Amino acid sequence: MKESQQLNLEFSPLVEKNFDLAECPRWDWRQQAWCWVNIPAGELWRLKEGKAEARRWDDMLGCAAMWGEEGFVLGTKSGVYLLEDWDAERRQIAPLVKTHPRMRFNDGRAAPGGRFMAGTRNGAKEGDQGQFYQLMAGGKLDKMPMFAWTCNGLAFSPCGSILYWADTGSSVVYCAAYNPETGEYGENRIFCDLTEFEGRPDGACVDSEGAYWVAMYSGKSVVRIGIDGVVTHVIPVPADNPTMVALGGAKGNQLVVTSAESANGPGRVLTAQVDWQGIEEPLVTVL
Residue 257 domain flag: yes
Question: Which CATH number belongs to the domain containing residue 42 in this structure?
Answer: 2.120.10.30
Mean pLDDT of all residues in 109-127? 95
| Count of residues in the chain | 287
Mean pLDDT of all residues in 207-236? 98
Is 28 a known ligand-binding residue? Answer: no
The whole-chain average pLDDT of the chain stands at: 97
Mean pLDDT of all residues in 117-128? 93
pLDDT digits (tens, 9 = 90+) for 133-155: 999 999 999 999 999 999 999 99
Domain that holds residue 267: 5-273
Is 122 a known ligand-binding residue? Answer: no
Sign of the four-CA dihedral 49, 51, 52, 53 = negative
Is 104 a known ligand-binding residue? Answer: yes
**Count of domains for the chain:** 1
pLDDT digits (tens, 9 = 90+) for 30-67: 999 999 999 999 999 999 999 999 999 999 999 999 99
Contact 193, 185 (CB under 8 A): no
Amino acid 111: pLDDT: 98
Active site residue 128: no
CA distances from 236 to 11, 189, 217, 219, 258 (A): 10, 28, 12, 9, 13
Question: How far apart are alpha carbons 110 and 118 in whole angstroms?
Answer: 9
Is 23 a known ligand-binding residue? Answer: yes
Residue 22 domain flag: yes
Residue 207 domain flag: yes
pLDDT digits (tens, 9 = 90+) for 172-182: 999 999 999 99
- Given a cut of 60, whether residue 1 has pLDDT beyond it is no
Q: Which of these is catalytic: 202, 207, 228, 240? A: 202
Model confidence at 2, pLDDT cuts 50, 70, 90, reads low
pLDDT digits (tens, 9 = 90+) for 164-174: 999 999 999 99
Residue 235 domain flag: yes
Beta bridge partners of 46: 35, 53
Amino acid 127: pLDDT: 87
Amino acid 3: pLDDT: 80
Residue 77 domain flag: yes
Give the single-character DSSP code of 40: T
